[in-house]
Amino acid sequence: MLGNFSYCNPTKLYFGDESLNNLNAELPEYGPNVVLIYGGGSIKRHGIYDDIVEILKKNGKHVAEISGVLPNPTVDKLREGVDIARKHRADLLLAVGGGSVCDYAKALSVSVNCEEDPWQKYYVRCEEPDCETLPVGCVLTMVGTGSEMNACAVITNPHTHQKFGHTFADPKIMPRFSILNPKYTLTLPRYQMAAGIYDIFSHICEQYFSGEDDNTSDYISEGLLRSVVHASRIANQDPQNYEARSNLMWAATWALNTLVSRGKSTDWMVHKLGHAVGAYTNATHGMTLAAVTLPYYRHILPFGLQKFRRFAVTVWGVSTEGKTDVQIAEEGMAALENWMRELGLVMNISDLGASEDMLEGIADGTVITTGGYKVLTREEILEILRESL
């Protein structure tokens, strides 16, 4: 652990199949006006909405709703929510859904009292809020992003084909509490379950494939990666397996609550590529990552050879006898590919709606990070995108 760092995570978690009851304990902490935020309707179909509205009523809350926060929430939807939250004089933003709904609530939290345009301020200029922010609580129904315990909010601007995340510096932007009931995730369509599993895996890899020093964070990452692979195989065979789904839920939270990045640089290039693809296609986040991963990792493997070798051995159990480091590392990539195919992930960006004529624009929208094993040039980005087609 050669770096200097701080670690603070104030989000309170309630986990388990009875965790929603804890909403009763949290609500009295906030004023009477709650804005309930949710997506396209899955919470109504599966009874979660009714349970939550009953608890809100029992606690005497005045409720306004923002519904229809769809996957990859847009800046237009954010502006609409600002008006609703202002009119309602919101005391608490309660997000019920997946990463899109949780991210949206955080973006709203910093926008309600902001005089400037939130897209320009937070996503183009990447500034921190200088206005009063609103507290956010989450009830999570989709597993993957880790949004339930971090300060990041990803917003898409469909007019400019840009999808950017902002990780706010102030821990107050993190959800004050998050309720994690693995049972809620049992109704996810298989496609979303697989996308979420790959999102978890990718978050850990983004923080693992960097640095040279011996770092406890990497050992924690390896344990999490093994747990995700193990649980995903069970869930893939038997999606109703509560134990596997609960392990995935817990792993997702720890994969992106900043724990495993302590004392390290991080890469995040798979996400930057995935977000740029998403900005053009509106595709499911986890699938955009899957579709660019292998061309990217095979491209940077020679620059981070020892880490890719270690990944092969510790995560995939590749034997080392009689093999060169390159052979071992490449076997690790092959094991990763087999597992991705087993889960039914989308392996090409063309299957997500991307086409050759979009590649220049996608490359323009790809933010280049510098914390991984190779700082890419624009030409390399285009090459990786072409290989991902």
Q: At 231, which amino acid appears? A: A
Site for ligand NZQ in 19-48 (CB under 6 A): 39-43, 46
Residue 365 as a binder of ligand NZQ (CB under 6 A): the answer is: no
- Mask: binding to Zn ion, 194-233, rule CB under 5 A, as x and -? -----x----------------------------------
Cβ-based nearer residue to Zn ion, 199 or 218: 199
249 phi and psi angles, rounded to 5 deg: -65, -45
Q: At 186, which amino acid appears? A: L
The string over 315-350, giving b where at least 16 C-beta atoms fall within 10 Å of a residue's C-beta and e elsewhere, is bbebeeeeeeeeebbbbbbebbbebbeebebbbebe
Residue 71 as a binder of ligand NZQ (CB under 6 A): the answer is: yes
- Mask: binding to ligand NZQ, 263-282, rule CB under 6 A, as x and -? --------x-----------
- Mask: binding to Zn ion, 113-142, rule CB under 5 A, as x and -? ------------------------------
Q: Which two tokens stand for residue 315?
A: 């995560």
Residue 103 as a binder of Zn ion (CB under 5 A): the answer is: no
Q: Which residues 6+ apart lie within 8 Å of 349 measured at CB? A: 277, 281, 288, 291, 292, 385, 388, 389
Torsion angle of alpha carbons 126, 130, 135, 141, nearest 10°? -10
Residue 185 as a binder of ligand NZQ (CB under 6 A): the answer is: yes
DSSP 95: E
Nearest to 75 by CA among 35, 114, 132: 114
Q: Give the one entry of ligand NZQ, Zn ion, none that residue 99 binds, where binding means its C-beta sits below a cut-off of 5 to 8 angstroms depending on kind.
A: ligand NZQ
Q: Which two tokens stand for residue 358?
A: 């979009």
Q: Give the one entry of ligand NZQ, Zn ion, none that residue 90 binds, where binding means its C-beta sits below a cut-off of 5 to 8 angstroms depending on kind.
A: none
Cβ-based nearer residue to ligand NZQ, 182 or 332: 182
Site for ligand NZQ in 95-134 (CB under 6 A): 97-101, 103
Residue 149 as a binder of ligand NZQ (CB under 6 A): the answer is: no
CA–CA separation, 216 and 156 (whole Å): 35
Cβ-based nearer residue to ligand NZQ, 11 or 187: 187
CA–CA separation, 92 and 177 (whole Å): 11
CA–CA separation, 381 and 355 (whole Å): 15
Residue matched to tokens 């063309």: 350
Residue 72 as a binder of ligand NZQ (CB under 6 A): the answer is: yes
How many angstroms separate the first and last alpha carbons of the chain? 39
Cβ-based nearer residue to ligand NZQ, 97 or 118: 97
The site for ligand NZQ (CB under 6 A) is made up of 39-43, 46, 70-72, 97-101, 103, 141-142, 144-147, 150, 152, 154, 165, 184-185, 187-188, 192, 196, 199, 256, 271, 285-286
The site for Zn ion (CB under 5 A) is made up of 199
